Amino acid sequence: MNSLPRYTDLPPVDVTVVVGSYNRSAMLAETIDSLTALDTSLPGGGRFTYEVVAIDNASTDDTQAVLARYADPALRGAAERVRGFYESEPGVTHARNRGLREAAGEWIAFHDDDQRAHPQWLAKLQELARRRHLKVVGGAVHLSLPEDNIRVLAPECRVLLGEKVGWDQEQPYTRKRIPGTNNLMLHRSVLEEVGVFDTRITDGGEDADLYRRVRSAGHEAWYTPEAIVYHLIPRPRLADGYMKWTATRHGQHLALREYKEWGRAKLGGMLIIRALQAGCNYYPRYAVAILSQQREQALGKRALLWRSQAYLARAWSLFRKGDAEAGGHDASLNLREGREKLIHGASGAG
């Protein structure tokens, strides 16, 4: 099988960290600062090398000026290099695919621009992969809430904001417990096999789609709570309206993922099961929280209902319309085309 493009004019590295960004120049600078301060020593001895590839996804702020600063070797810290590129096609899938085309590492790690990495984040992912002989590993997401926040968020809301609630032990990922691409590292051979991000997915869920293909290809993936990133949560994301918006997206993505994985017949059965779950479980728990005036708990249960409503609406549409609702054509063709571009396509200027 052909390999991903190598940059023979660059010194080799073990890991490429890909970060996409749109109009968050100040946050991006802090993110890159945390990534250039990583500890490269491995538990038990040895070190690894890494680079940071940052993608300006058609920003209109001063992101380009921020990236230009890191051409200064004095700002690279522990990273071998920090390289910035401009991707004119908007969308997170386009940004991440551009990062894959530019990557020179044997491994590819994904990180978001509204996060900060723990100094040992990448070392812990590398240690897990080497110890268990894995090609897919991921880590924990901790919430960094506003300093003056006094709310005690319900677990359901913390999950909607990205936290891995209850993931306290090293464990394998499953069909239900899946990694996100804000804290994920894959060997490049896995991407050669399963393809790149599906650019038709424009409203989120691209990470779940990638993991679905990784699982289908038979790759074992594991999680470690010791590889930590901190997700910055601005105050507007604590509002009920944002919780409803993200819960709705989660429900829609789950319906599409289950349709792709199971097909129309099994999805019809899940429609009935999830309708009963919402009516017999979520709604009574929501009513109890309302009556007992537990606002945060009520919001958490309401979020489950929002997610269920979105799932049922999307699943019913998929059940009736099938592939026309899911995208209209076989996704494997799109993914193979994307993989060929990744393998054979030329890199643009940074």
Say whether pLDDT at 329 is over 70.
no
Whether 202 and 281 map to the same domain: the answer is: no
The answer as to whether 68 is a domain residue is yes
Domain of 92 in residue numbering reads as 13-234+330-344
The answer as to whether 350 is a domain residue is no
Whether 245 and 111 map to the same domain: the answer is: no
The answer as to whether 7 is a domain residue is no
Structure tokens at 280: 């017999």
Q: Say how many C-beta atoms besides its own lie within 10 A of residue 326's C-beta.
A: 18
In whole angstroms, give the CA distance from residue 135 to residue 119.
Answer: 22
CA-closest candidate to residue 115, choices 136, 141, 90: 141
Structure tokens at 279: 């009516």
The answer as to whether 65 is a domain residue is yes
User: What pLDDT, in 10s, does the model give residues 5-62?
Assistant: 555 568 889 999 999 999 999 999 999 999 999 999 998 889 999 999 999 999 999 9
User: What pLDDT, in 10s, does the model give residues 269-317?
Assistant: 999 999 999 999 999 999 999 999 999 999 999 999 999 999 999 999 9
Structure pTM?
Answer: 0.86
Whether 207 and 256 map to the same domain: the answer is: no
Q: Say how many C-beta atoms besides its own lie within 10 A of residue 334's C-beta.
A: 16
Number of structural domains (the chain) is 2
Structure tokens at 120: 């040992």
Whether 228 and 254 map to the same domain: the answer is: no
pLDDT value for 324: 61
Whether 210 and 100 map to the same domain: the answer is: yes
The answer as to whether 161 is a domain residue is yes
